[in-house]
Structure 1
Amino acid sequence: MDSRGQDEVVVIGGGVIGLTTALVLAERGRRVRVWTRDPVERTTSAVAGALWWPYHIEPMASARRWALRSLEVYAELAERPGETGVRLADGVMGDTDLADVESWAADRLPVLRRATEEEYGAGPAVWARLPLIDMAVHLPWLRERLRRAGGSVEERTATEPAEAAAPVVVNCTGLGARELVGDLSVRPQRGQLVVVENPGIDTWIVSAGRDGAPAYLFPQPGRLLLGGTAEDDAWSMDPDPAVAEGIVRRCAELRPEVAGARILDHRVGLRPVRPAVRLERTTLPDGRLLVHHYGHGGAGVTVAWGCAEEAATLATPSTATP
């Protein structure tokens, strides 16, 4: 195979992790094709509330490093919110101690302080300015930037990594890794949310809930996302009316004005939770390079850029295995 062929990479998986990894590779000069089972707009990433914050991901030390690198990228993208879908928004992270956040992100966040009782009266909380991503805009933007970099996206299902005819294959299939590579340690964590007309809320809020049931409100252009749930090993993609009612009730306890908001949509996604993110390289039976990059739980958007850069380095044959 000539040197041009050696630059070819197939990334399997078209969610935010797959697209971002493919984009980093393409902008490093690789010839990249993305295989995605579902259209980009119908991946799990499309359902994400998409507030930048390490959530349900391990190992946390690595996740925070990846998240801080991603924060740098999102801060740049937030200068063009209409184009990229990324903006910096103020809000309250409830049930969170300021000292804990300061220990890893104090000098990186433009706004970070203890929330007042008026802003969040249910316990300790921080007020912060964080990236909030509109996935309906961001995913197509990633796809288009990838195409401008010479990459392509194909709707194609792989049954095994070896099907990809390229010197390097990157497995970004998330929950699909259970079938693609037989990794049963990656499991679904079901998240449901309710989309409503925004009654005028312009700040986000996240709460663990008094009964342990989470609640969040994320204002997006033209709508307000209400969540959420975190049901382990639940596979149903059908919205549960009782769950939706509970979401609206919990969110109304935080912001009463949402109680009568008109419901626009119900959404369900399955987070690919794993004991730890699998980011490693190995080889296929014929000796070609295979990089695994999946299991990001509820933090795929948060860590996407930092993690993608490490995956892209692993996908370079001349790079020594760490």
Structure 2
Amino acid sequence: MDMVNYAHVKWFTDVTPVKEALDNVLSPVFMGTALAVALLLAVLTQLLPSIMKLSALGKLDRQVERLRPRSFLILQYGTAVALLWSLLEGSLFAPEFIPPHGWIEITIWATIALLLIPHSIPIKLASVLIFALYVYYVGEYGLFHMLDYGFYLAIAAALGLNRTVFEKWSFPLLYLGTGLSLCWVAVEKWIYPAMSLDIVENHHVPTFGFDPAVFIVLAAFIEFVVGYLLVVGILNRLLSIVLTLIFIMTTMLFGYIEIVGHFMIHIILLLFIIEGVSFYKPPVDMHKTKLDRIVFVALNFLLVLATFLLLYYRFA
């Protein structure tokens, strides 16, 4: 099955996917933006301590800290609601997949029921079923496309690791899985720009004075940077708020499909806001001096960007 026919932006466009030439992808706008973002992130590591001292952020931390004991319950029941809503709308994982039926539908109902039981064993069984459903969909639609929804594997892991000796890895895996998924989806906009251009035109998406082609490059960078920062652990709580606002804005543009398709992402972002980074030592913290942090963040971003871009282009 040709995976480009199931690309993420196909929620909103019927344009036939056409892979852009790599020379065109690596345009002056792309290269210049990549370097500018790398430098900006390097500076951000130095501004972070001062930003976190703002009184508003301190008040936010104190308010949401009280919700941390309920984080797992939000994940547990939020996942159940997301699966139920998706199933009632005739889909699983994403709106573009064919409606589940037969044993797949029964398995989804069983997963939802298990998640509603307040006991660790049913929850662990539900995590196994989510993993099994994901593996099945990989077989149906291919690993390449299902990487868009890799955060469901992180959800399964987080649910399964609860009340085990590895419980401390639950929410870090959510950071990692969601961040990598966002990065992967962002690259799609660079490789298949015609699809995104069609969305901008048909939905009258404001480009804020930018040329539509340039706007798409910049929009993809925003999504990629957010995913990258979630992985490396910089401003996780703030980025969760910003990203949630971005998704709310896109929901206003694309409507009900967007709400259903991104509901689970909203649940995860809510957890990011609640949890912050107190349980997770960001990779950048391994470096003690300012210069080391600057070099690490800048070069690491460019390396991750190049890796995602080349992998996506190779297998697209």
| Greater share of helix | 2
TM-score (norm 1): 0.25
Compute the TM-score of the two structures, normalised by the length of structure 2.
Answer: 0.25
The structure carrying a bigger strand percent of its residues is 1
